Chain A
Amino acid sequence: MLEALQMPFFQHALIAGVLIAIAIGLIGPLTMANKMTFMSGGIAHATYGGVGAAIFFGFSILAGAAAAALMAAAIISFISYRYAHRADTAIGIVWAVGMAIGVVLSDMTPGYNVDLMSFLFGSILAVGSEDLWLMALFDLLAVFAVWYLYYDFMALSFDPIFAKLQGIKTQLLHLLLLALVAMTVVLAMRLVGLIMVIALLTMPSFSSEQYARSLGGMMIFSIILSILYIISGLFLAYTYDLSSGASVILVAAFGTITLFLIKKIKKVFK
């Protein structure tokens, strides 16, 4: 297993794993507290439309995915304010239509035979060194945004109506949060896959919510859990030649259930 550490592609995957974990640990708790899991799912699936478009028109896949993800975030944020009572229906439509566009466009691209599954389920071979720079840059941006707007996000998560009465621009903050989700999804796409990234946004947050005493604590705990899950998932994927995203998710699920049970048992014996 240790010889893996000498492979450049695996080193890249490990560094990417840590960088992604930082973004996921910061953004995940906020998406969960604001009940954005389904919205994030919509963004992630719609991102595939951008991947398909990039393949068909022959431009950078990362740029295509980012454009599609940000567009989906804007549409979903708008819908959830303007048509709140039917937002879930509309998000479901964005979800499927984005995906369908991606599938049709890649079908229409002659002779293209890159493994499309890797965009959905992740691959440890897919991360290049330029991806690492982008991830590090985004992490810096995310850390600053969350630090600067910490109390704004806290208010939005706990009581949006009161936050609005206090002059917080809640709609803008909601859009910003979804844009951060969109970028996290895009950067995590190669390693974890579009479909799997959603579970990774939610599971560490769910556990940390039960153990942490504050939003900040929740984020730190989520980052640590995400790093643990991603690194062990990657080793598993390397050793048994599995899809990296799926391995990470199964490790995360195991960890989440264990932490949940520990909390329950503690309560019983209190």
Chain B
Amino acid sequence: MPKRASLKPPAVEVERLFFSYEGRTVLEDVSFQVENGDFLAIIGPNGGGKSTLLRLMMGILKPDRGEIRLFGKPPQEADVVIGYVPQETGHNLDFPITVLDVVLMGALHRRNFWRRYDKKLRQKALDALEKVQMASMAHRRISDLSGGQRQRVLIARALCSDPQILMLDEPTASIDFNGQREIFSLLEKFNDEMTIIVVSHDMSMVMGYAKHALYVNKRAIMHTIDPHTRYQIKQQLSNRKGHYCGAEFWQDMGKKIECTTECRHA
């Protein structure tokens, strides 16, 4: 690979990536690049390998073949801070924990000698909560919150580690329309400071906010969402005229897809 001393390497480079799980091919010959400061949406059918790809980029999974580089280095060696936001599934709500303690998990690796969080870290966590407009909830038990609020707390937790790349796995899967729009406009704001990669199945949000969309179904195809389309769709979303019908997008790509109920009413 030619040295590019003056240019910052891309945030993520994936080259000829193969991955299989228990004998089943999940990803096949996947190559793409994510520039620093990009807002990438990973889309595609369920079981198509979207979340797997995200986990490979985070370094939780290792590829069978091919290469992944974050700012020019493999995920394990790169000292890149990734802010990971899992899907809010409410699977662990019985566990008594406050909002602040959840957010502080983003600073686990910066605790002091006694493995405690000092004042500065607590302030940082409160600042992160402020950014997602949840500071007033800091001392509530996490189970007292709504699904959308909990998802924002998980975003604050990722922000608390000062990430260079924010990676989100279906952050709006179980949230109503307005909650989704709020989360995506927050992400758009954070995009000024960091690269954002979000797995989503909601085409209207993706088309309204992302700069690129990577369609993943074993193989991957990168699409650019032009600013004009993005602007138009965002306007539609803010007027709440309804969802952009995913079907139109898939038709552009020569795919057939069933229209969701929401789309048909739109």
Residues of B within 8 A of A166 (CB): 105-106, 108-109, 161
Judging by beta carbons under 8 Å apart, are B102 and A158 in contact? yes
Judging by beta carbons under 8 Å apart, are A213 and B115 in contact? no
What mask results when residues 150 to 169 of chain A are scored 1 for a CB within 8 Å of chain B, else 0? 11101101110111111110
Q: B20 → chain A, closest Cβ, in Å?
A: 16
Q: Does B116 sit at the interface, judged by CB under 8 A? A: yes
Q: Does A128 sit at the interface, judged by CB under 8 A? A: no
Judging by beta carbons under 8 Å apart, are B97 and A161 in contact? no
Q: Does A217 sit at the interface, judged by CB under 8 A? A: yes
Judging by beta carbons under 8 Å apart, are A159 and B86 in contact? yes
Judging by beta carbons under 8 Å apart, are B96 and A213 in contact? yes
Q: Does B94 sit at the interface, judged by CB under 8 A? A: yes
Residues of A within 8 A of B12 (CB): none
Q: Which of B94-108 contact A (CB under 8 A)?
A: 94-98, 101-102, 104-106, 108
Q: Please tell me which one of the listed residues A151, A164, A214 contacts residue B115 in the complex, with CB atoms under 8 A apart.
A: A151
Closest to A166 in B: B108
A155-B105 in contact given A150-B115, A162-B86, A162-B157 (Cβ < 8 Å): yes
Q: A70 → chain B, closest Cβ, in Å?
A: 24
Q: In the assembly, what is the distance between CA of A253 and CA of B117, in Å?
A: 38
Judging by beta carbons under 8 Å apart, are A163 and B108 in contact? yes
Judging by beta carbons under 8 Å apart, are A151 and B108 in contact? yes
Residues of B within 8 A of A158 (CB): 92, 95, 97, 102, 105
Q: A117 → chain B, closest Cβ, in Å?
A: 35
Interface majority SS (helix, strand, loop, mixed), chain A: helix
A165-B84 in contact given A149-B115, A158-B102 (Cβ < 8 Å): yes
Q: A184 → chain B, closest Cβ, in Å?
A: 20
Q: Does A215 sit at the interface, judged by CB under 8 A? A: yes
Residues of A within 8 A of B109 (CB): 166-167
Residues of B within 8 A of A165 (CB): 58, 60, 82, 84
Q: List 14 A-B contacts (CB under 8 A).
A: A33-B95, A148-B114, A151-B111, A151-B117, A154-B97, A154-B105, A159-B92, A162-B84, A162-B105, A162-B157, A166-B105, A212-B96, A215-B95, A218-B96
Excluding A157-B95, A166-B161, 14 further A-B contacts by CB distance (< 8 Å) are A33-B95, A149-B115, A151-B104, A158-B95, A159-B86, A161-B60, A161-B84, A165-B58, A209-B94, A209-B95, A209-B96, A212-B96, A214-B97, A215-B97
